[in-house]
Amino acid sequence: MIKCLECGFETDRLQWTHFKYKCTGRFSDSKEYRVEYPDAILVDSSLAKKTAITKDKLVEKYGKEDGIIRWDSYRSKQSHSNSFEYKRDMHGWSREEFDQFNSSRSSTLEKMIIRHGEEEGALKWIAYCERQAYTNTKAYFIEQYGIKKGTAKYLDINKRKASSNPILVSERLGITVDEAIEVILSRQNSSEFWGSNIEKEFTAMLINAVGELEYTTFTRPYGKWAHLLNSYVIYDIKHKDFVIEFNGDYWHANPRIYKEDAIIRGKTAKQIQHRDSLKCQTAIDLGFRVLTVWECDFRANKQDTIRKVTEWIQSGQQ
């Protein structure tokens, strides 16, 4: 049995009917519930095992040939229904809501301990890490797809990984790392870059106030190699001598909302904040003026936020 973290009701499955008719009334479905309680379990583990659709169960029920066909069809449908495009069209989710939902389902040591207890959770976490490491090996792909197809898939995935590594691209093309980042970003489809709807609104309002901007998340992303992080980073807005970061309260662990030890997507708020500070320091070291705008401030007063940002931009032009 599992317990609803909102009202304490115990059952083997928490469905939308519970939240709509029996709970406190704060949530209309499990999606809203999981946003508030990201570590919550919706289905009892024993029930999940009984009702889970697996390749072995389908082969046992329908025979090898028909079972495998049904399994491939099921995986294809699951892949589509778990995509951002499906969630957006069916439920009106933003990209931020989609990624927040996925992060709530991700495996972390903390979540394993919460679900299974300290000892069993730690063992499950070790097993999970070992399995994840194995799924990145050539042997795994050969085991799954056979020698010829598995080897081809393994080489293709590693080729794509290499094509997005600025150091490898710079070495291959004989250019600087920053130039390699420009090449990588230019190769990617604009739909691969995303920001929340609220960031999109902020960017549009700022453009309306100050005119076109050289680089934004939604048009032409701007990336730089950050030696402090040993990776490249992409800034939300870059124009002339300034950089603006529009930080979502949840994704960037707003210190006015989250304590340093709060766990967000498997990291502490302090770790997230530290990484953001190094990202900003990189821009400062490169000679840019840097401004951070928080989601909560923009939501509280959009026009006033745009006015303050515009004044900040203009102050550097005098």
Q: Is 202 in the same domain as 106?
A: no
Instruction: Answer yes or no: is 185 within a domain.
Output: no
Total structural domains in the chain? 2
Provide mean pLDDT across the span 7-32. 83
**Does the pLDDT of residue 166 top 70, yes or no?**
yes
Query: What residue spans of the chain are helical by DSSP H?
Result: 16-17, 30-36, 45-51, 55-62, 64-81, 84-91, 95-105, 109-116, 118-134, 138-145, 147-163, 166-173, 177-187, 197-210, 269-285, 295-300, 302-315
Last residue of a domain, one of 114, 141, 163: 114
**Does the pLDDT of residue 94 top 60, yes or no?**
yes
Specify the higher pLDDT residue, 159 or 71.
Answer: 71
Residue 288: pLDDT band with limits 50, 70, 90: very high
**Does the pLDDT of residue 128 top 80, yes or no?**
no
Least confident of 52-66, 163-177, 281-295: 163-177
* pLDDT for the residue numbered 112: 66
Interacting residues of 312 by C-beta distance below 8 A, sequence separation 6+ = 291
Angle at 93 between CA 108 and CA 209, to 5 degrees: 110
Instruction: Answer yes or no: is 33 within a domain.
Output: yes
Specify the higher pLDDT residue, 281 or 115.
Answer: 281
C-alpha dihedral sign at 92, 97, 98, 101: negative
Instruction: Answer yes or no: is 226 within a domain.
Output: yes
How many other C-beta atoms are found inside a 10 Å radius of the C-beta of residue 83? 12
With beta carbons less than 8 A apart as the criterion, state whether 19 and 30 touch.
yes
Last residue of a domain, one of 51, 84, 114: 114
pTM score above 0.75 = no
* pLDDT for the residue numbered 309: 96
Last residue of a domain, one of 98, 114, 130: 114
pLDDT per residue as tens digits for the range 176-201: 878 877 777 776 655 555 678 889 99
What CATH number did the domain enclosing 206 receive? 3.40.960.10
pLDDT per residue as tens digits for the range 36-49: 777 678 887 777 66
Residues pairing with 267 in the sheet: 264
With beta carbons less than 8 A apart as the criterion, state whether 141 and 150 touch.
yes
Q: What is the mean pLDDT of the chain?
A: 80
Instruction: Answer yes or no: is 247 within a domain.
Output: yes
Domain with 86 in it: 2-114
How many other C-beta atoms are found inside a 10 Å radius of the C-beta of residue 249? 17
